[in-house]
Amino acid sequence: MSAVVGMVTGSMGAVWLAWKPEERTMAWVQTALLLAIFIAFIGYKSWRFRKWAALCERGAALLDAGDLGAAQRALEDADGYALRPPERVLTRFHLALCALFQGHVDPAHAVLLALSRGWRTKEVPDVYVRAPDMLAACLALQGDLVEARQWLEEAHRRRGPGAASFSLGELLILCREERHGATVRLLDDRREAIEKSGVLIRNQLRVIRAFSWDALAMETGGTPDEELKGLEPVRPGEFNYLGAQWPRMEAFLRARGLSEKEAA
């Protein structure tokens, strides 16, 4: 593309100079310089976008796989290359998820609140829907169930009627409200969507499911043995964030050897 532009520009310049060489030389030099700067700027923007896209894609994949430290580093690098608002929206949403899953619930809450309220978020439809849902998840973990419900309703409104998808916010609200039967039913209803999720999401849903079955067993006198077997892929400390501001969940993680402190 730049070679073609250069050839065309050169031809135009030759005609220009042949017509009135004394008067047009300086004007042609200025035009050529401006065109060269424009082409260089377009090339620079294209290079930055490719760098951002590659780093953001890598960060998202690492996040799905549960490698949160590497994901955060890749996404922070991606944010440095982002030029347009939609690029920054997507990168910062993923960074907020990294913060949340690493146990930094309050900073994640602040970023997700800004994204949920920001008008630029509409330019990234996936984030426009998911940001209020993940904000509801943060609020549920913090114990603010009234505001969590409000943001969950906003997420449902943005998603539109009849759109069935997995909602971490809804699950955590139900769990925090101690509606454990409803939690298990929702997990069963969304099984297909959950199976398409990344390793990190699937593992934390194993924890939530086992927590709900454990609570139901305490109420009925049963044993949640089968559900607890599903916790085998979960590393101790991997989901400490769930119990950071949730005493009953923290006690469950500790009792099942899933707390980092317990493992130490």
In the predicted structure, residue 16 carries a pLDDT above the cut 50: no
CB atoms within 10 A of CB 37: 10
260 against 210, higher pLDDT? 210
What does residue 224 show for φ and ψ, rounded to 5 degrees?
Answer: -95, 40
Q: Which residues contact 214 (CB under 8 A, 6 or more apart)?
A: 224, 227, 228, 252
pTM, to two decimals: 0.81
From 4-18, 106-120, 135-149, the region with the lowest mean pLDDT: 4-18
Would you kindly state where each structural domain of the chain is located, as residue ranges?
178-264
Q: What is the pLDDT of residue 129?
A: 94
DSSP state of 108: H
